[in-house]
Structure 1
Amino acid sequence: MYFIALATDYDGTLAHDGIVSKKTLAALERFKKSGRKLVLVTGRELPDLKRVFPEVSLFDKVVAENGALIYTPASEEERAISPAPDPKFVARLKKLGVKPLSVGRSIVATWEPHQATVLDVIKEAGLELEIIFNKGAVMVLPSGINKATGLIAALQDLRLSPHNVVGIGDAENDHAFLQACGCSVAVDNAIPAVKNTADLVMPGARGKGVEQLVDKLIKHDREIVSRRHDGIVLGSAAGDDIYLSPTDTVLIAGSSGIGKSTLATALTERLVESGFQFCVFDPEGDYDGLEGAVRMGDGSSAPTKAQVLDLIAKADSNVVVNGLALRVNERPDFFADLLPDLGSFRRRTARPHWLIIDEAHHLLPKRREDTRAVLSLELPGTVLITVHPEAISTDALRLVTAIVALGPKAKNVVKVFCREIGIDPPKDMSSPKGERVLFWRPQKRKKIATVKVVEPRQSLKRHSRKYAEGQLDEAGSFYFHGPDDAMNLRAHNLMIFAQIAEGIDDKTWEFHLRAGDYSKWFRNQIRDKDLARETAEAEKDKTLSAEESRKQVLDAVRRRYTAPATAPEE
């Protein structure tokens, strides 16, 4: 479920002449029974609203006084989010004969043609107030307060994002809150300006239009709008932008070092720009320093499930869950323990909007018997990144709605995917050239496309945290054994390498130095060509003493792996 809540105006939208019909009330009840939330957004003052609409308890939140007051029917709590009117301002309006004049917790309201008098008094007193019009009504509120600010405050209470709200209205003062919603809808009787900017226009007027929208949402949810609506741009093909929908499950696959995490980084930048919340599961420390996100965990300590869920509960927090401290065989257990609770939270709030699961073959492996149990029936807004699609749970692969295959073996990636889920691969595939990728939607079986993908503005040093602090396996570790094999000291990461290197004798240091062992390890295991190149220069320089060469090599390591990473990822 993507659209979690409906935010509706009252007069002229939900109600006709102040009255909500029984059919419209029944539609609201159906909407609530579907597990969604209702928010009423009105210019009316709360006592007046309760008088004309006794069924207000149907709503989870009420935004009254055109955004100035938040009311929770279940607890009857009222919360003003703007100051009370200046008594001198109200007194001056009364003295000038402005009638009718209504004064709420924050709003001051009258009717046309008194707007000129109201404006004169505001200027005369030098007050920071705004006049808002609504079909002849003249509402005065503190500057910056409108239906949109009130709705945002109400959604924060509900832990919901505006992206997951459908708003419906009809009048001038509805513009702000409609544009703040993930989908804006106008009833048929709406003024032209509202219709022209709405994503959808219902054929029915007032309550009938609300009833039609409710039925559409319950039946179609996210499908009431196009894929590009709230989508993020993956890249372009034949001059057209290619979008990923927030209900997509995306597989990004290709050989190691081909640009998968670079693409994922670019996608996170688009998510930040659009205000979508994301959570990256980062087993290898690839996303250390990702802009717009908070990292949890490092090479020495793993985050707990409670810590992750607490941070994700904050709608403005993007999270990178660093799993370096977990052994490879511990990662699936950690993820299997977290995913059900995370899935439950997403079903209630539709957040985080996107999950990015790196090394997905580790976290959702085919070999685990309980993978099906930890998966929900769908993985909306999820990116699975892997070198080995064949090692991912088949149940997870069957949920994939879009494939992004990278590198010279991209065609093989698509074929492997198709083999694993038992479908025929697309015909007429050609290997992508340059920085392009193959893009295919397997459920639609359309022709595969070659896409030039977006590029990130930031650069992450690939696997820097893993190599600096993590646990390389035995085959990938460096071993100091010296010329006589008198020792066997294992360095399973760069920090341990530096510590051992500082403590060994000069003879052992120079034995490995002159053999080119250090640059070979940096190149083949750490996969850092620049570090290997700089180290090789020290290895070849016979004029350097053991102390000088040791300092030069270790300085190069620390400069790259203890300072903030700025080098390109690949």
Structure 2
Amino acid sequence: MHYLILATDYDGTLAKDGKVSEATLDALKRLQKSGRKLILVTGRQLEDLIEVFPETSLFDCVVAENGAVIYFPSTREELLLGELPPEKFVNALRSRNIDPLSVGKVIVATWEPNETEVLTVIRELGLDLQVIFNKGAVMVLPAGVNKASGLSAALDKMGLSVRNTVAVGDAENDLSFLKLCEFSVAVANALPSVKGEVDWVTEASRGEGVVELIERLLTLDLTEDLRESSILPDRHRIVLGNLDGDRETYIQPLNRNILLAGISGGGKSTLATGLIERFIDKGYQVCIIDPEGDYQSFDRTVILGNAQQIPSSAEVLTVLSKPEQNLIVNLMGVKIDDRPLFLAQLLPSLLEMRVRTGRPHWIVIDEVHHMFPSSWNAAVTLPQSVNGILMVTVHPEHVATSALSLIDTVIAVKSPMQTFTDFCNTVGHQLPNAPLPSELASGSGVAWFLKTEEQPFQFKVILPVQERQRHMRNYAEGNLGNDRCFFFRGEDDKLNLKAQNLIMFMQLAAGVDDRTWLHHLHLQDYSNWLQNSIKDESLAKEVSEIEKTTELSPADSRDRIKTAIEKRYTLPA
């Protein structure tokens, strides 16, 4: 079950003319009984909502006043996410006979066409307030407060993630929280502008549309395979790599179990790091089981454990209790022979946490041949319904069959024919019909989606951001080696000035005489060097255009090339 939370608007979505039907209430109760959480997100003031909707206690949380107030019915705890606008603002509105005018704990509300007067007062008083519209309603709130910010705060308080949340609404003020969530829905009576921005539109209106959504969740989200489901939007797809012509190829971020395999030095770590980065970029929580300490420099993660200290399950769960925190579990302090038992004790806690919170979304197991060796009964630890597992190994043939049987996506680097053969022999799967390359160049991979009729395909690996940054620092400050350096020699080879990186190149470029500079410029030596040694195609292309602009003076061409480099690489001042 991935979609653990339903966040719904009230007026025009859940309710018709302020009332919720018995059928809609029954559907909400069935959804809650399935283990999911209910959050009501409304522009109404809390007291008004409770008066018209006594069943408010059915919800785990209420986000009221268009995101400014959070209320937990079970404990009656109330949190304000903003301050009431100054009294002088309210008095100024009343002095202008703004009617109707309601003042909540944070919100000030009226109706069109009073927005012109409201905006005039805000401007005259110099207040940091915003005006939000909702089908004729005019709501004034502190800047930055809306349904998205309110829902985010509520989820944080509950220890839940927007990546496990379905949102449904009908009006323009709902768009902020609809776009925030994993799956966004508009009921049939929603504004056209809202329908055009969401992942799915119900056939029925208002409460009946919410019932339609709930039925969809109770059926499709309980199936084992969501990959082709209409409740899995494309906007969260993860880039796997590039095909011919730089077209991107993707994997869905949910309900996949991936095996990434290949010999050491073949690029597994580069590809794994890139995938993990993109999972995190999309807001999916990642827990990395790191037996050898290979992920210690990974950005945006917390690290538990080292060669002297073994992390406990309680420590792991404490870190992961915050949805925004990603975790690396370093097992260098655990003996190799003891690692399968360690993982067998940790994984049930992680999977139980998934039942409660939907997280961590991805569990990455590096060196999986050590964690689930062929002699180990992985089925005891890994139920066959588990998903969101990325296994990385040099030796798929040494991984327990019960673990490999979970795999639906195989990615091979360096030696795809050997990898696929080892995998198929282990699990008893038939090799693909399409011929496979026996060896790949560095930076390439082959992906095979086992549960589709698609044959394995080759793609170009996209470098992880942190590796690109490392390369960029090396190009800017490091030593490229003689075969990749730039040499200012001049037209008669009288010079031999070596630039071993971009910093030295810019320093030498500023000092060489104009004749030498123009000699290399006209030969397009600069763009060739940037293309072949720095391997920056876009920079090389821009510099090539500068080289072809013949009317530029030596000083102008120097400045333009310097600017082009500095746009991409951080050079010391």
Q: Secondary structure at the match of 1:224?
A: coil
2:392 is the counterpart of 1:391? no
Matched with 1:415 is 421
The counterpart of 1:350, out of the listed 331, 342, 358, is 358
Equivalence map 1:252-331=2 (5 Å): 252-331=260-339
Partner of 2:380: 373
Residue segments in structure 1 that go unaligned for 5+ positions in a row:
461-570
Q: Give the counterpart letter for 2:380 in structure 1.
A: A
Alignment check: 8 A CA contact 2:240 2:248 kept: no
Once the two structures are superposed, what CA deviation does each residue of 1:472-528 show, in whole Å capped at 9, x if it has no partner? Answer: xxxxxxxxxxxxxxxxxxxxxxxxxxxxxxxxxxxxxxxxxxxxxxxxxxxxxxxxx
State the Cα distance separating 1:287 from its structure 2 match: 0.8
- State whether residues 204 and 212 of structure 1, in contact with CA within 8 Å, keep that contact through their aligned partners in structure 2: yes
Q: State the match for 1:537 in structure 2.
A: none
- Would the aligned equivalents of 1:230 and 1:246 in 2 still touch at CA under 8 Å? no
Aligned residue among 254, 257, 273 for 1:249: 257
Counterpart secondary structure, 2:20: coil
* Matched letter for residue 293 of structure 1: T
Unmatched 5+ stretches in structure 2: 469-573
Give yes or no for contact 2:106–2:141 (8 Å, CA) kept in 1: yes
Partner of 1:146: 146
Is the 1:312–1:319 Cα contact (8 Å) retained in structure 2? yes
Q: 1:458-537, aligned counterparts within 5 Å?
A: 458-459=466-467
What per-residue deviation string (whole Å, max 9, x for no partner) do you get for residues 187-218 of structure 1?
11110110011111111111111111111111
For the residues of structure 1 that align with 2:94 and 2:382, how far apart are their CA atoms? 64
SS of equivalent residue, structure 1 residue 40 = strand
On the 8 A contact 2:413/2:446 being kept in 1, the answer is yes
Measured in 1, the distance between the counterparts of 2:385 and 2:464 equals 28
Greater alpha carbon shift after TM alignment, 438-447 vs 246-255 = 438-447
Structure 1 counterpart SS, 2:414: coil
Aligned residue for 2:532?
none
AA matched with 1:362:
H
Q: 1:566 — aligned with what? A: none
Once the two structures are overlaid, the 10-residue window that deviates more, 210-219 or 347-356, is 347-356
3-state secondary structure, aligned to 2:265:
coil
Bigger mean CA offset, 332-341 vs 239-248: 239-248
Query: TM-score w.r.t. structure 2 length?
Result: 0.78
Judge conservation of contact 2:262–2:393 (CA < 8 Å) in 1: yes
Cα pair 2:300 2:326 within 8 Å, conserved: yes
Does the Cα contact within 8 Å between 1:436 and 1:453 map onto a contact in 2? yes
The residue identity in structure 1 corresponding to 2:125 is A
* Amino-acid identity (%): 46
Q: Distance in 2 between matches of 1:453 and 1:29?
A: 47
Rounded to whole Å, the distance in 2 between the matches of 1:37 and 1:376 is 25
Inter-partner Cα distance in structure 1 for 2:294 and 2:369: 16
SS of the residue 2:259 aligns to: strand
User: Which has the higher relative contact order, 1 or 2, with Cα contacts under 8 A spaced 6 or more apart?
Assistant: 1
Measure, in 2, the Cα distance between the counterparts of 1:402 and 1:231: 15
**What is the distance in 2 between the residues matched to 1:193 and 1:84?**
30
- Counterpart of 1:389, as a letter, is P
Q: Deviations over 1:445-465 (max 9, x none)?
A: 4311112222123249xxxxx
Distance (whole Å) between structure 2 residues aligned to residue 141 and residue 255 of structure 1: 58
Equivalent position to 1:235, from 219, 233, 241 = 241
Aligned 8 A contact 1:360 1:392 in 2? yes
1:35-46 to 2 correspondences below 5 Å:
35-46=35-46
Deviation at 1:173, TM superposition (A): 0.5
Query: Number of residues paired by the alignment?
Result: 460
Shift of 1:294: 1.7
For 2:26, the equivalent position in structure 1 comes to 26
The answer on whether the counterparts of 1:312 and 1:318 sit within 8 Å (CA) in structure 2 is yes
Following TM superposition, by how much is the alpha carbon of 1:21 offset from its aligned partner in structure 2, in angstroms? Answer: 0.8
- CA distance in 1 between counterparts of 2:203 and 2:219 reads 17
Q: C-alpha distance in 2, partners of 1:395/1:56?
A: 46
Structure 2 residue 439 is the aligned partner of structure 1 residue 428: no
Whole-angstrom distance in 1 between the partners of 2:299 and 2:110: 48
Please, what TM-score do these two structures have when normalized by structure 1?
0.78
- Distance (whole Å) between structure 2 residues aligned to residue 225 and residue 384 of structure 1: 26
Equivalent residues of 2:183, 2:232 under 8 A apart: no
CA shift digits 1:1-23 (9 cap, x unpaired): 11111111000000010011111
Structure 2 partner of 1:468: none
Letter in 1 for 2:420: V
Distance 1:377 1:83 in 2: 50
Kindly provide the amino acid, as one letter, of the partner of residue 386 in structure 1. T
